[in-house]
């Protein structure tokens, strides 16, 4: 009996000295992450084609790595709401019949996203899943050299709503609220591009499937 009592006391002491595995309601978690943004960029539909693009024309968008800030507010130990802040810049090149063509440059994107997350308690690792709405805001987009050579002087990309799903896990590294976080998001997002001539005539309009993977890793601090 004495041995069992001592063992129980040691187990209790170990749990109390271990990093907290669940956040209390009202906890704010700030994450500083390095993020890889891996978009698709494929043409989904051609709306206006005054420039005569071949029927099998395709496009791709380049990948990018950017710093991001995420803020997570815990409604309960199992439920939190997360928003992220970052800008990512991309360019679009041609594929298929126009392989290598410089289609669009300096496409600066703000992916405004809010996700509702459910956290599991799996011992020292805290996995989670989440889902929520997103809208991509586009800034400073410009036609590329090939588009300019075909007569485009202005490019506009539509801000559109989509959805993001995510999964990841947090690993506490001490009992003061610091830890390591890994996160993966899949966005289901489209946009419509509008290429205009110097006279203001819309010469080309295409729908694009962006659907990026967004992979992040970094540290978090809980308050």
Which tens digits make up the pLDDT trace of 111-131?
A: 999 999 999 988 889 999 999
Largest Cα span, the chain:
91
Pick the CATH number of 21-222 from 2.60.120.620, 1.10.1270.20, 2.40.160.20, 3.30.420.40: 2.40.160.20
Q: Specify the range with the lowest mean pLDDT, choosing from 21-25, 81-85, 135-139, 196-200.
A: 21-25
Pick from 187, 153, 152: which is nearest to 53 by CA? 152
At residue 9, the pLDDT reads: 39
Residue 19 has pLDDT above 80, yes or no: no
90 within 8 A of 107, measured Cβ to Cβ = yes
At residue 123, the pLDDT reads: 83
**In whole angstroms, what separates CA 219 from the centre of its chain?**
17
The reported pTM is: 0.86
* Cross-strand pairs, 29: 72, 222
Confidence band, pLDDT 50/70/90 cuts, at residue 22? low
HSE, side-chain direction, 13 A CA sphere, residue 196: 10
């Amino acid at each position: 009996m004495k041995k069992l009592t001592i063992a129980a006391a040691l187990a209790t002491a170990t749990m109390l000295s271990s990093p907290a595995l669940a956040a209390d309601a009202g906890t704010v978690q700030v994450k500083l992450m390095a993020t890889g943004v891996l978009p698709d960029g494929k043409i989904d539909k051609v709306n206006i084609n005054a420039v005569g693009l071949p029927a099998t024309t395709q496009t791709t968008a380049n990948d990018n790595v950017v710093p991001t800030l995420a803020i997570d507010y815990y409604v309960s130990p199992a439920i939190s709401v997360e928003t992220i802040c970052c800008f990512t810049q991309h360019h679009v090149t041609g594929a298929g019949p126009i392989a290598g063509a410089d289609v669009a440059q300096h496409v600066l994107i703000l992916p405004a996203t809010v996700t509702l997350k459910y956290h599991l308690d799996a011992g020292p690792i805290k996995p989670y899943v989440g889902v929520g709405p997103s809208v991509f805001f586009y800034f400073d987009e410009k036609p590329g050299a090939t588009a300019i050579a075909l007569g485009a002087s202005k490019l506009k990309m539509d801000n559109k709503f989509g959805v993001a799903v995510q999964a990841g896990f947090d690993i506490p590294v001490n009992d003061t609220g610091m830890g390591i976080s890994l996160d993966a998001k899949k966005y289901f997002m489209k946009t419509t591009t509008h290429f205009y001539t110097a006279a203001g005539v819309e010469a080309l309009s295409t729908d694009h499937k962006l659907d990026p993977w967004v992979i992040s890793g970094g540290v978090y601090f809980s308050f």
